[in-house]
Structure 1
Amino acid sequence: MTTELLAPAAPAPALLVHPPRILGVGTAVTATSYSQEEVLDAFEITDPKIQSLFRNSAIDRRNLTLPPVDDTGSRIAEPQGDLLDKHKALAIEMGAEALRACLKRAGADLSDLRHLCVVTSTGFLTPGLSALLIRELGIDRHCSRSDIVGMGCNAGLNALNVVAGWSAAHPGELAVVLCAEACSAAYAMDATMRTAVVNSLFGDGASAIALMSGPGAPEPADAEGPSILKFASCIIPEAVDAMRYDWDRTQGRFSFYLDPLIPYVVGAHAEIVIDRLLEGTELRRSDIRHWLVHSGGKKVIDAVVVNLGLTRDDVRHTVGVLRDHGNMSSGSFLFSYERLLDEGIAEPGEYGVLMTMGPGSTLETALVQW
């Protein structure tokens, strides 16, 4: 008789000892909004299968900065260098607007900012967007900063996790996570189904969230936003290639790829990560009053709803953001959070879950309490 030795299970993520409180949120989009029909017309798409993708996306409008037209009225294909320039210009413009709106809602000024973390996946810059925004806005040169680049749609919560740790180590100091995604700078012009899936989904957007822990942070009764209690992650290594942004040798540029099966892969793992998030808290899923899920696409949202047993009302803001703006990558969940705050229905003591998903393939979650 043999005894099989089993590795001990990994401990569940612990509650934060000094949970930071969310003080404000702000969002911004680019100037031009298009309906799905207008995008089809702009790119002269006539393939019925591709048209069907656009029309059945549950998206009404998206903010996009499309390429200029030539003498015949057709859109001009932009080389990778022009797309990088577009990313830089749009990310700085939207990012500055979202940051200002966030600080205003938090009752703070640019001079109060002590750490700026900027998230993006729609372009690569050195120096990063944090340094460019500090120069653009005249933020104190001694402001601590970080850039999270290339993690994709889940990255907003990855950044929030990291900055929550910074906040706990710097009580009373204001930190901001800013997601700036110029998805127009990753738009591919061809007639393939691969790019059609992406082109029917993404829009430009930026969002920012401010947090502070310890002395100086508002007490629960005085705060609009919740405290961040805990984070949990789940990576699906076998689906590492299911969502990616890599070099397209045919076009000589970067392009997105989304596996058609990814909504079902994500949905199948949603229960696992939520159970891990709630482990050790004595909370059940039914105790969660507010669900703020990434607006990844109609099928992704449906898969999460089915696997977690949520109602359509639970994901009303997720669905509304997708309808009005499309998928804005890393910052989409903060657009939903802003809509929840604007409703003014969150009561002290209520719990909420933030959930994002993206390349890896990964799911990221956070537990919050008002």
Structure 2
Amino acid sequence: MIASVASAFPDVSYSQDEVGALLGLDNPVARKLLAAPHIRSRRLFLPPADPVTGRVPDESPAELHAKFRRGALEIGGRAIASSLKAAALTPSDVGYLLCVTSTGFLVPGLSSLFSRELGFHPALLRADVVGMGCNAGLNGMNPLVQWVRNHPGRVALLVCCEINSAMYVRDESARTGMVNSLFGDGAAAAVVTSEASGIRPYVRDFESFCMPDRWDAMRFDWNDDVGKWSFHLDRDIPYVIGDNVSKPVGRLLERNGLRPESISHWVLHTGGGAVIDGARRSLGLTEHAVRHTRSVLRDFGNISSGSFLVSLERLLDEGSARPGEHGVMITMGPGAQIEAALIEFAAGREAQP
């Protein structure tokens, strides 16, 4: 059961116009994307602007790495604290901590950093999922759900922490303009237990779908010109996702004796306006079904692996789910990979397997 979900973001929110001015996004592709209505604001860790140029300085690889570490500890720590508080737990209650990120690299990883800083138990089981991209939140949740099933009464914690502004590259290409107009910084944490109070989702099953022939549709490449990693997002990715998302969802529902009309709640990754449109058409969803996905994209942009958890957080806060109703969570990202999970809402102890 997902006992609680909480998110955290940088304190400063920027409009798309402000981001464009601060980063100097002047190419036509970037200007068009910044003007699109599906994103209105993003939370970002940006340095102070130069008072003369009005632009933020270009950060070195060392400065970007330091920003990732500092930002991840700040907002990841806040998301962890809020999720545990909501479940009436403390860090010492957690038996398994799994951290997900694709926007920075640390050895030891974020799980070790949080363990040291936040007071987790020395017997904590740790794992880090690094480099899987936007789909990785469900990749991380899967082993936690299995572990809790095998350890009744124990507590697991999923933390998705992405400092996308630590991966920004500043140039005039359409490629970087697309990335810099879409991604924001954010963290989300989910407490997974065998029981909890209130109406909460129990994770029933998972399904994956990989398209290895499209492995290069979303990827990091090394940019020799600037000495940084640069993210590539294929312009066809909305169609790749839209054409294939129904395949893992269909298998997931069929295996569990359900049909699409049996699903009351849909929680999708906020990949972008066109990605949401493609998935919605493929699955035959109403606009109401993707309202939380749309609102998270609108308010924060694409925050990569934790996006679906923020949508789930909004669904839970809404209080519309009822015991016995089913939901589907969907993430997608590099690989190209689509992940899906079936949830069933239950009240308290009714959710135990």
What range is the shorter-chain TM-score in?
over 0.9
Instruction: State the Cα distance separating 1:70 from its structure 2 match.
Output: 4.2
Within 5 Å, which residues of 2 pair with 1:356-367?
356-367=331-342
| Partner Cα distance (1:265, 1:308) in 2 | 14
TM-aligned CA distance change 1:348 to 1:71, over 3 Å: closer
Bigger drift between 245-254 and 24-33 goes to 245-254
Identity of aligned residues (%): 47
| 2:69 equivalent in structure 1 | 88
Q: Which residue of 2 aligns with 1:14?
A: none
Deviations 1:308-350 (A, max 9, x none): 1000000000000000000000000010001001111100000
Return the alpha-carbon distance in structure 1 between the equivalents of residues 326 and 233 of structure 2: 32
Deviation at 1:187, TM superposition (A): 1.1
Larger helix proportion of the pair: 2
Which SS does the other structure have where 2:134 is aligned? coil
Contact conserved, 1:30 with 1:63, CA < 8 A, in 2? yes
1:331 equivalent in alignment to 2:315: no
Residue of structure 2 in register with 1:110 after alignment: 91
Query: CA contact under 8 A between 2:26 and 2:172: conserved in structure 1?
Result: no
Q: Distance in 1 between matches of 2:256 and 2:71?
A: 41
1:164 is matched with 145
Map of 2:348 onto structure 1: none
Q: In structure 2, what is the equivalent of residue 9 of structure 1?
A: none
Alpha-carbon deviation of 1:165? Answer: 1.5
Deviation at 1:251?
A: 1.3
Output the CA distance in 1 between the equivalents of 2:127 and 2:301. Answer: 27
Query: Do residues 47 (structure 1) and 27 (structure 2) align?
Result: yes
Checking the alignment, whether the CA contact within 8 Å between 1:57 and 1:201 is kept in structure 2 is no
Is contact 2:5–2:188 with CA below 8 Å preserved after alignment? Answer: yes
Aligned-pair CA distance for 1:249: 1.5
Amino acid at match of 2:265: H
Instruction: Identify which range, 230-239 or 73-82, moves more after superposition.
Output: 73-82
Equivalent-residue separation in structure 1 for 2:296 and 2:49 (angstroms): 29
Whether 1:61 aligns to 2:41 is: yes
Residue 299 (structure 1) aligns with: 274
1:44, CA displacement in angstroms?
2.9
CA–CA distance in 1 between the matches of 2:37 and 2:133? 20
Tell me which of 190, 205, 211 is aligned to 1:236.
211
Equivalence for 1:18:
none
User: What residue number does 2:182 align with?
Assistant: 201
1:128 — aligned with what?
A: 109
Unaligned stretches of 5+ residues in structure 1: 1-20
- Given that 1:67 and 1:77 are in contact with CA atoms closer than 8 Å, whether structure 2 keeps it comes out as no
What is the aligned partner in structure 1 of residue 4 from structure 2? 24
Match of 2:261 among 267, 286, 305: 286
Aligned partner (choices 344, 350, 355) of residue 325 of structure 2: 350
Q: CA deviation at 1:41?
A: 1.2
Give the match's secondary structure for 2:165.
helix
Look up the SS of the partner of 2:288 in the other structure. coil
Are the aligned partners of 2:155 and 2:191 in contact in 1 as well (CA < 8 Å)?
yes
Give the Cα–Cα distance (whole angstroms) in 1 for the partners of residues 177 and 96 of structure 2. 38
- Tell me the equivalent position of 1:318: 293
The residue that corresponds to 1:266 in the other structure is 241
State the match for 1:245 in structure 2: 220
**Aligned-residue RMSD, C-alpha:** 1.2
The CA distance in 2 between the partners of 1:122 and 1:306, in whole Å, is: 30
User: How much does 1:84 deviate?
Assistant: 0.9
The answer for the alignment partner of 1:254 in structure 2 is 229
Q: Is the aligned partner of 1:150 residue 2:138?
A: no
CA distance in structure 2 between the partners assigned to 1:326 and 1:46 by the alignment: 19
Give 2:60's aligned residue: 79
The residue type paired with residue 13 of structure 2 is S
Indicate the SS of the match to 2:307.
Answer: helix
Give, in whole Å, the separation in 2 of the partners of 1:356 and 1:50.
25
Q: Bigger CA drift: 46-55 or 27-36? A: 46-55
State whether residues 208 and 338 of structure 2, in contact with CA within 8 Å, keep that contact through their aligned partners in structure 1.
yes
The answer to whether the Cα contact below 8 Å between 2:27 and 2:177 also exists between their aligned partners in 1 is no
Deviations 1:128-157 (A, max 9, x none): 000101111121122111110010000000
